[in-house]
Amino acid sequence: MKRIDTPLKDCFILEPQVFEDERGYFYESFNQRTFNELCGQETHFVQDNQAKSNYGIIRGLHFQTGEYAQAKLVRVLQGKVLDVVVDLRPESPTYRQQYAIELSPENKLQLFVPRGFAHGYSVLEDDTVFFYKCDNFYQKSAEGGLYVFDEILAIDWKVSTHHAVLSDKDKVLPRLSEM
């Protein structure tokens, strides 16, 4: 497995070593020891989540606050997403900066999202299956989020606003200027 740094502090991509032959392919998608070595810290994942969505769905930008903050390791099992993260750590040199990457089964990439980041994704193909590990348990009272069409962030979700589908909860999230 190879670590590829992103422009955001502590946020990185994992690229697996894939073994292919006439039968198909094999790769190790996660190994705790290797992950901790690449991460440079002890990160223990405690919860796996999976979501299936169709084209145009935008989920996010979400985060957990306080003692319930979560780091995530995200990937796509089927379909394609544009995965987006925003650094919300005031002490970080990349505070308020964002990064986006397409994730798919074809590229087999995973994105590590550190604690203190908002995270979301837009679904670029029907029947997309998104999978992620969390290093802390979900707590409803610690939910936080940012409006995905925030003018300051100006994220290109690769989905027209005409086709975008947001949950009722995500439609009323605050903008960055309101945080």
pLDDT tens digit string along 98-115?
999 999 999 999 999 999
**CATH number for the domain whose boundaries are 44-178:** 2.60.120.10
Q: Which is catalytic among the residues 99, 119, 121, 132? A: 132
Check if the beta carbon of residue 6 is closer than 8 Å to that of residue 99: yes
Quote the pLDDT of residue 40: 87
Quote the pLDDT of residue 177: 92
pLDDT string in tens for the chain (179-residue length): 999 999 999 999 999 999 999 999 999 999 999 999 998 888 999 999 999 999 999 999 999 999 999 999 999 999 999 999 999 999 999 999 999 999 999 999 999 999 999 999 999 999 999 999 999 999 999 999 999 999 999 999 999 888 999 999 999 999 999 98
C-alpha R_g of the chain: 16
Quote the pLDDT of residue 179: 84
- Of the chain, the percentage scoring pLDDT greater than 90 comes to 95
pLDDT tens digits for 124-133?
A: 999 999 999 9
Can you give the residue ranges of every domain in the chain? 44-178
- DSSP, collapsed to helix, strand or coil, labels residue 41 as coil
Alpha-carbon distances of 37 from 33, 42, 44, 171, rounded to whole Å = 6, 8, 12, 39
Q: Is 62 a catalytic residue?
A: yes
pTM for this prediction? 0.95
Long-range contacts of 90-98 (CB under 8 A, 24+ apart): 92/9, 92/10, 92/116, 93/9, 94/7, 94/8, 94/9, 96/176, 97/7, 97/8, 98/8, 98/153, 98/155
Q: Which is catalytic among the residues 55, 62, 95, 119? A: 62
**CA–CA separation, 22 and 12 (whole Å):** 31
